[in-house]
């Protein structure tokens, strides 16, 4: 790759990953260049590094109002999710059932499928057409052999927020462990593990302006835990492997910044997102917001552009230096429409025409102006040549109302089935 000065990137994909904050780069560099000792070593050169890992643990704990001892550093959000579910099953050998949702990140969906192959039973709860979750259904799905309920705090594709405190209270009342994947949340919403009442919570540093390759699992005090990575005594025996010191220090600094940026995300970034979304919905015909308008992250807009393929939109946007995405970065390359939008009952063609714009603290008014200037013409150009367009001679229209009705029927059927199983 060329080392020349990069072109300006109009980055609207902050749910995929975020730019490493300059303050975070400054904080981590000494641990790459000068203080590269092993934090487990007994001599001073290692011990001083250990002190910085512990300081980062305090910073990350403060972000979620946890005790530093409850914080275990991992390599990523995926590892944190897998570790929590794995531990719940290992520590409760008589319990073979896991509850999650159909709209989780592939870190949960694919792990669930792996567990099913190993003989476990996994319930993937359906969602309503606005992406919200029926908590009553969740409660009914809990069985005597349920080991853990794992529900994300906010969805990475639509930004829709789930009521984790309510879910955790249900789990407690039924003696079931509760995990939440809060990877998309830091800096956007306050996270307080005591208010949430969860047993496990996952974070990933690269979503909050720190580098990739480090994550965290919160494990509530006194929760029995089986390490997922078995090795040395690092992380108080809860995760083997030499700590990625520079990344952990970076995570700590980013945690401080995330607390400080909560206000900006909820005022300026929210206003930018709303401006972009309102512009699209009012100026580009046949566009629809996917997901509940109110209960969602302040930075995310997921919009369906009917009669065009999102991949074509993204390609043309890329040519203009604009980054956005359709679905999760982890499913890029798959031709299937987003599993999240499909679970919300969107017709496949509408799901295939949906684009996620996720903003962040480095976005400016000028960048939104640039996107707004180019988007309507770009969509029109694609619609002019799209056989999905009703005005195109080779039109293949689809019936959105019929698809919505089908989702309602399927959802009612799924709920009836769950309730029958639970009864
Ligand atoms: N959970 C959610 C909601 C995510 O958005 C992501 C990343 O996109 C992950 C988990 C996985 O995190 P990581 O990339 O750190 O493994």
Give dist(CA 177, CA 83) in Å, integer: 13
Q: Give the whole-angstrom CA distance, residue 323 versus residue 10.
A: 6
DSSP letters for 175-240: T-EEEEE-TT-TTTS---HHHHT-SEEEEEGGGTTS-SS-EEEEE-TT-----SS-SSSHHHHTS-
Average pLDDT over residues 94-120: 98
Instruction: Write out pLDDT tens, residues 58-89.
Output: 999 999 999 999 999 999 999 999 999 999 99
Q: What is the pLDDT averaged over residues 380-397?
A: 80
Residues 6+ apart with CB under 8 A from 143: 97, 421, 422
By the 8 A CB rule, do 24 and 187 touch? Answer: no
What are 139-165's pLDDT values in tens digits? 999 999 999 999 999 999 999 999 999
pLDDT value, residue 217: 98
Tokens standing for 423? 């009864």
106 CB near ligand 1 (under 6 Å):
no
pTM to 2 decimals? 0.93
Residue 363, pLDDT > 90, answer yes
327: left (phi over 0), alpha (psi -120 to 50) or beta: left
The CA 132 to ligand 1 mean position distance, Å, reads 20
Distance of CA 213 to the CA centre of its chain: 16
Catalytic positions are 330
DSSP reduced 3-state for 303: strand
Secondary structure in 3-state letters for 337-355: CCHHHHHCCCCHHHHHCEE
State in Å: Cα 215 to ligand 1 middle.
10
- Most distant pair of Cα atoms in the chain: their distance: 76
Q: How confident is the model at residue 333 (pLDDT cuts 50, 70, 90)?
A: low
What tokens appear for 188 in the block?
Answer: 């956007």
Mutation probe of ligand 1 site: the residue of 100, 106, 156, 360 with most atoms within 8 A of C-beta: 156
pLDDT tens by residue, 126-141: 999 999 999 999 999 9
- Domains of the chain and CATH, by start: 22-260 (3.40.640.10), 262-422 (3.90.1150.10)
**CA separation for the pair 274, 267 (Å, rounded):** 10
297 CB less than 6 Å from ligand 1? Answer: no
pLDDT, residue 394, reads: 67
Yes or no: say if 161 and 295 are a contact pair by the CB < 8 Å rule: yes
**CB 77 less than 6 A from any atom of ligand 1:** yes
- What does the DSSP 8-state code read for residue 68? G
Ligand 1 pocket mutation, candidates 77, 109, 164, criterion most atoms within 8 A of CB:
77
Q: CA nearest 290: which of 235, 337, 227?
A: 337
């Amino acid at each position: 790759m060329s080392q020349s000065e990069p072109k300006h990137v109009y980055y609207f994909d902050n749910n995929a990953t975020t730019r490493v904050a300059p303050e975070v780069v400054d904080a981590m560099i000494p641990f790459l260049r000068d203080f590269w000792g092993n934090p487990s070593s007994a001599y001073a050169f290692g011990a001083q590094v250990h002190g910085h890992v512990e300081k980062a643990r305090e910073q990350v704990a403060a972000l979620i109002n946890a005790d530093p001892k409850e914080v275990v550093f991992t390599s990523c959000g995926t590892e944190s999710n897998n570790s929590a579910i794995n531990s719940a099953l290992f520590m409760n050998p008589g319990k073979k059932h896991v509850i999650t949702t159909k709209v989780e990140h592939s870190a949960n969906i694919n792990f669930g499928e792996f567990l099913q192959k190993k003989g476990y039973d996994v319930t993937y709860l359906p969602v309503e057409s606005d992406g919200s979750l029926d908590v009553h259904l969740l409660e009914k799905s809990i069985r005597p052999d349920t080991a853990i309920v794992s529900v994300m705090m906010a969805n990475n594709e639509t930004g829709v927020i789930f009521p984790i405190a309510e879910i955790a209270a249900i789990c407690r009342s039924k003696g079931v462990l509760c995990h939440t994947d809060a990877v998309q949340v830091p800096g956007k919403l306050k996270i307080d593990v005591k208010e949430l009442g969860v047993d496990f919570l996952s974070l990933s540093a690269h979503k909050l302006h720190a580098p990739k390759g480090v994550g965290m699992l919160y494990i509530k005090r006194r929760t029995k835990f089986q390490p997922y990575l078995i090795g040395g005594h690092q992380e108080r025996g809860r995760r083997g492997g030499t700590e990625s010191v520079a990344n952990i220090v970076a995570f700590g600094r980013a945690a401080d910044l995330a607390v400080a940026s909560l206000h900006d995300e909820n005022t300026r970034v929210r206003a930018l997102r709303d401006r972009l979304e309102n512009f699209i919905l009012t100026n580009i015909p046949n566009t629809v917001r996917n997901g509940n308008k109110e209960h969602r992250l302040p930075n995310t807009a997921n919009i369906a552009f009917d009669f065009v393929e999102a991949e074509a939109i993204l390609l043309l946007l890329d040519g203009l230096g604009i980054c956005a995405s359709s679905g999760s970065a982890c499913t890029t390359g798959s031709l299937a429409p987003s599993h999240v939008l499909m679970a919300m009952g969107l017709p496949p063609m509408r799901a295939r025409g949906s684009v996620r714009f996720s903003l962040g603290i480095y976005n400016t008014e000028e960048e939104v102006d640039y996107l707004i200037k180019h988007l309507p013409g770009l969509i029109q150009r694609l619609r002019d040549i799209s056989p999905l367009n009703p005005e195109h001679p080779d039109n293949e229209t689809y019936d959105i109302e019929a698809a919505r009705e089908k989702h309602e029927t399927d959802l009612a059927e799924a709920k009836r089935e769950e309730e029958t199983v639970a009864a």
